[in-house]
Structure 1
Amino acid sequence: MFSIILGIPCLFLIPLWSRLKRRDRDLSLFLLNIFFAFMITSFYLNGEDWASYYTNLFTDGGTTWFEPGFYISIILIKTISLGNFGLTILLYFLLCFFLLSKALKSLEAINIPVFYVFLLLCFGNTLVLEQLRQFMAAIIAIFALIAFQKGKKRNALLLIFLAISFHISALILFVSFFICSKGSSKFFVYTSTTLMIFISIFFITPKLFTPLLQFFPAILLKLTQYREITAIGFHLCPSFLISMMFLVFLFFNSHLFSRKEVMTNGSCFAKCSSAY
């Protein structure tokens, strides 16, 4: 329900977005970002992650086990906020949403309120609301994807390293980087589908992979902790369904993502947005 409330202003902007002037779009995004940051910061139930951030970064008995990029950014914002936890979180979310809107504004023919609605409805309760490290890593991943699309592979790799410094799960970006380097949309679809099936089986029956994970103790420990906190299983959630729809769309519209089309006709993001 909270994610739906957050998305209400976007629903009013969606039909007007293509008619607004650039200045009006920028003002709308500015107000949306402030609205999101204040609403999310003021929301009371934010899970165990926020408790870990407070305990480890705002008390004397905490540890500094967080990824370096996230740790440094929070410490800097904490200094600006004079050690106030609530204000630190607010400033962090403002930074996240303004960076996200900057990345989206660099893409042509994209209805940003539509993107925000999908973001909030699919990932709002976890990625946006609770997982501060993952959210920033995902935003940096968008910048990396844009750089890769423009042929700036070195910049893309540097951004991938930066994303990893906010959350270790961004290592998957390395896999994505090499998959995208193939320049084949069908290879991307087949690989993504295979990985999705593999990961689904892994979460349903993790014991099958326990012998293999013995060689990766950090991953095994993290998964063990998650399973102790809550039961991990396979669920048909909105994000899964939308991902499947995207893969089907990509498979039947591979020409929109071919290397030749990107080089001659501009951004594939713009083509996707126009197609929708």
Structure 2
Amino acid sequence: MNHFNSIDRLSLNQITTEKWSLKEAVDGCLRADVPWMALWRHKISEIGLRESKNIIKGSGIKISSVCRGGMFPATTAKLRQVAIDDNKRAVDEAAELGAEVLVLVCGPSAGKDISEGRKMVEEGIEELVPYAEERGIKLGIEPLHPMYAAERSVIVSLSEAVTLSEKFQAKQVGVVVDVFHVWWDHDLYNQINRAKGRILGFHISDWIVPTPDMLMGRGMMGDGVIELRRIRQAVEKAGYGGPIEVEIFNQKIWDTPGDEVLALMKERYLEHV
């Protein structure tokens, strides 16, 4: 199949409609017939876990993931434990809300020693795995673009993420493929193939040229240079048939009425993905 003729797998990642509350986003998805949503923890905390669960439970919307756990590296053992405790809360939230996957944005190094930061990430995941497994939650390591290494994640390639995930059982730890972060990789398709059986999520947007902003510069599908369909087909060939999340950080899109964003998102998904 070269392209979609339905939106059965389409998921609104909440950050794409950042100005909407959880309730507004759920209602928007229902109006647009978008069947899936990915939840962000700051949106859950705005109204609390119980109210979030009530909204989701009564809506019929399916939850593709909760974002985010991670941020493991820290300067002291005490602060590392704070990060682990927060990750356990994130696992609990994912379990309560019916998600199967907690997305891990693993965090920057606590100092200048990036290899030590990577070691802390591995140790953090190792500590979190038994807790997550007990609650039926899989941990999805999302490699970020290398430009985020100092601020958001020391895991900066799909190869690195797969290697890290392979230290654990596939039923517990896998990877999340976000096109914005991995499209540039000369070895991308080999690494997607290598991730077979471990792909827990697939995120889409586009890379605009010129890039307007390092964080807030993602584009709507079709507005940039990413070979979306080819990547999607590779991910499917590697065994992933789950929801496809549209995750866009872009102030212009955030300032656009949510219903318009969802209408455009559906149109571009069918056309380009």
Return the TM-score normalized by structure 2: 0.24
Q: Which has the higher helix share?
A: 1
Return the TM-score normalized by structure 1: 0.24
Q: Which has the higher strand share?
A: 2
